[in-house]
A and B are shown apart, each in its own frame.
Chain A
Amino acid sequence: MSGKPKLTYFNGRGRMESVRWLLAAAGVEFEEVFLETREQYLKLIQDGDLLFDQVPLVDIDGMKMVQTRAILSYIAGKHNLYGKDLKERALYIDTYVEGTMDLMQMILTLPFSLPEAKEKNLPLIIEKAKNRYFPAYEKVLKQHCQGFLVGNQLSWADVHLLEAILMVEEKDPTVLSEFPLLQGFKTRISNMPTIKKFLQPGSQRKPQPDDKYVATVMKILKEAMYYSI
């Protein structure tokens, strides 16, 4: 056993991407096992590796962790990316991360919705980004004045926000035009060495989902995917 965390997921972003980001930001090397067939998935279930029959699955520190938030919280806590006390953790980091999760969740599920829904939903997502989420984070940066969202060092909240910004920008490159502090934030955080490395070609960062990826996921899971409104 290598001691490195081992990630089991489809070969694409989905819910695992935030985990890849956070491990990369923490400078933690990790291995990946890609689910390519339904048989592989069923075997994982049979072997009792998936607590709720779902991926992501991360083998880390002797635990087979599932549930994205639980995994991310553990990594953040372990690698000093979770603030210095309960207040920083809950009031700030957990709260901010829930916001970016809600935003990224909308984009995550987009490729799996019906074509008519896709057309309707994309503008709604951009609207939410510009009117609900980015103004909130712009204001936090303005009031906090430290270059980071929380405290005076990089936290999970910063990594997650950068991931969200880049994800929305892929859909609308002008989305940060009214948010100067977020623009500065994006540049600054992107230039932190571990993150800069992750943003370079050849890293374990995954590309945007394409039709092949969507088809693979649906073939493997074969279940109706319902998502929170």
Chain B
Amino acid sequence: MSGKPKLHYVNGRGRMESIRWLLAAAGVEFEEQFIETKEDLEKLLSDGLLLFQQVPMVEIDGMKMVQTRAILSYIAAKYNLYGKDLKERALIDMYVEGTTDLMGIIMYLPFQPPEAKEKNLALITDKATTRYFPVYEKVLKDQGQDYLVGNHFTWADVHLLEAILMVEEYKSDILSKFPLLQAFKGRISNIPTIKKFLQPGSQRKPPPDEKYIAQVKQIFNI
């Protein structure tokens, strides 16, 4: 056993992508085992490895963890990205829930009927620019610091960067009214572990394409 965490998921972003980001940000090398067919999934199920019959599943520190948030919380705490006390953790949790909600809308887009695409794009743009990004812009302004919480790098910063880049893939000028977020994006992207993850050849996954969507639908019977 290599000792590295091992990620079980399809070969694409989905719910596992935030985990890849966080491990990468923490400088933790990880392995991946891709579910490519229904049979691959069946095997995980019949081996009893999926507590709620679902992926993501991450083998880490002798445990077979499921449920994305639980996995992320564990990694954040283990690698010192969860703040220094209960109150900082509460702030991080709040901010991360916000970016999770935003990225959640985007995650489901490729699975919506084509007619709904325009409407959904408008929805993302609207939510990003009127509900979520103003909040983080204000946090950065009020804090006057480089990071969202406690003047040190935390899970909340990683998650926000992931969300920003994801929305920008839909609308490249989405940050035009958010100067502090633009600076934040530049700053966090340049942190060595993150810079490395953003380079070609890393384990970061591309946006979902037709092939990926078809594969997911087939494997999970959607």
Contacts and interface: CB of A to CB of B under 8 A. Distances in A.
Interface of A: 51-53, 61, 63, 65-70, 73-74, 77-78, 86-87, 89-91, 94-95, 97-99, 102, 132-133, 136, 226, 228-229
Contacts of B74: 86, 89-91, 94
Interface residues of B, number: 32
A45 B193 CA distance: 38
B70 interface: yes
A11 to B, nearest CB: 24
A52 B51 contact: no
Contacts, number: 84
Interface string B53-96: 10000000001011111110110011000000011011001101
Interface in B188-220: none
Interface of B: 51-53, 63, 65-71, 73-74, 77-78, 86-87, 89-90, 93-94, 96-98, 101, 104-105, 108, 111, 131-132, 135
Given A74-B86, A95-B70, 12 more contacts: A51-B135, A52-B101, A61-B87, A66-B94, A69-B93, A74-B89, A89-B73, A89-B74, A90-B73, A94-B70, A99-B51, A136-B52
Given A67-B98, A90-B70, A73 B89 contact: yes
A66, A91, A136, A228: which has the most chain B beta carbons within 10 Å?
A91
Contact of B70 (A68, A70, A98, A229): A98
Given A74-B86, A228-B104, A94 B69 contact: yes
B53 A52 contact: no
Given A67-B93, A90-B77, A133 B70 contact: no
15 contacts: A63-B87, A67-B94, A69-B93, A70-B93, A86-B78, A87-B63, A89-B77, A90-B71, A91-B63, A94-B67, A97-B70, A98-B67, A136-B51, A226-B105, A229-B108
Which applies to chain A's interface (DSSP): helix, strand, loop or mixed?
Answer: helix
B87 A52 contact: no
Contacts of B70: 90-91, 94-95, 97-98
A133 B51 CA distance: 9
Contacts of A86: 74, 77-78
A61, A66, A68, A77: which has the most chain B beta carbons within 10 Å?
A77
Nearest to B70: A94
Given A52-B101, A78-B86, A132 B94 contact: no
